[in-house]
Amino acid sequence: MQPGVRACVPTLLGQTTLSLIWRGCLSNVQNMPVRSFSCLPRKMSRWNSRDTCSPLPPQENPRVLITGDPSFFLKQYGTENVILSDIKKPPPNVYSSGPFVYADVLDYKHLRELIINNRITWLVHYSALLSAVGEANVALARKINITGLHNVLDLALEHCLRLFVPSTIGAFGPSSPRDPAPDLCVQRPRTIYGVSKVHGELMGEYLHHKYGLDFRCLRYPGVISVNTPPGGGTTDYAVQIFHDALSTGHHVCYLRPDTRLPMMHISDCHRATIEFMQSPECQLSLRTYNIAAMSFTPEEVAQEIRKHLPHLKVTYNPDSVRQTIADSWPIRFDDSNARRDWGWAPAFGLEELVADMLRSVREKRTDEGLPVR
């Protein structure tokens, strides 16, 4: 048992409490004046021991609730163990892929009902307003990105959940080291999106050290996916350029041609998240890690696309808001701690990413009956 490590669990005793005792989440109950859960010294067991590095006991798969609708956990754990949620109507393929429910992260009571009724053990929290969208509506971003986060943190404490909250390249600021940015350094971002992500990193780490919350966080670089349309992020040009290359052959880029940023293929992002969530807690020296794959500029990705589509034309028309944001972000991530602690290694470089994205976008447009160059 580690001195000073504490865990939060429900005050309601009975079968739920006995289950938590079995999982090593409960010892001597004390009261805590936060919503309806209690704090108590954690009696460390093989379930969550930092003194041994045993895998989790063989048992049923985790029961996963995901806010914000990323569906890649379905492939890993099956439709019977994963519930997707969002406040937006999802596309038909999401409805057909597994259980989907309406869930507003600002509605604490409803989230609590979902967790209890579905025996959730992992909570994966993706709901957030991204960088450029957040700057256009700071009040809403503060509400969703911070108030929503607090609801999720409280629920994870109350129900002894493993909690994953992604962070971002946007958690760094102009005073941060840029080439490379390490896991631990001055951050001080200048967007509400970045500020909320730093807040989430620090709150999660605080609750882990004070109460034993199994909080896990990865700082994602720009993530490139054929299935995720551009949604107001500063790195979204790196998705849009593939659609434009195969439709009109002309892309208008809102960043300067020499703006270098860390990027990652969606498959690597998904795999990193699953591997990180599956890692024994004793392997983790940090609660928040950088993960990296490649770093490129708009001109470099355009040149790689031209190896397949020589007539691609790119016009550079920098947008002041997004260019300022990009100029405050790191050029590269240092992810040496993730590689050392839990074996992270990317599979996609720039060449592989471009080839895969062109193939995937071509197939998508063909399936939708859209013209392809």
- Positions annotated as catalytic residues are 193
Nearest to 111 by CA among 127, 94, 90: 127
How many Cβ atoms are within 10 Å of 237's Cβ, its own excluded? 24
* Token pair for 296: 């490129």
CA distances to 38, 296, 366 from 48, rounded to whole Å, are 19, 39, 48
Do 73 and 82 form a contact (C-beta atoms < 8 A)?
yes
* Token pair for 122: 């992992």
Helix axes 350-367, 237-247, angle to 10 degrees: 50
| CA-CA-CA-CA dihedral for 216, 352, 94, 137, to nearest 10 | 60
SS3 323: helix
Distance from C-alpha of 116 to C-alpha of 283, rounded to nearest angstrom: 29
Beta strands in the chain (DSSP E): 6-10, 30-34, 37-41, 64-67, 82-86, 100-102, 122-125, 162-164, 167-168, 214-220, 222-224, 250-253, 261-265, 288-290, 294-296, 313-316
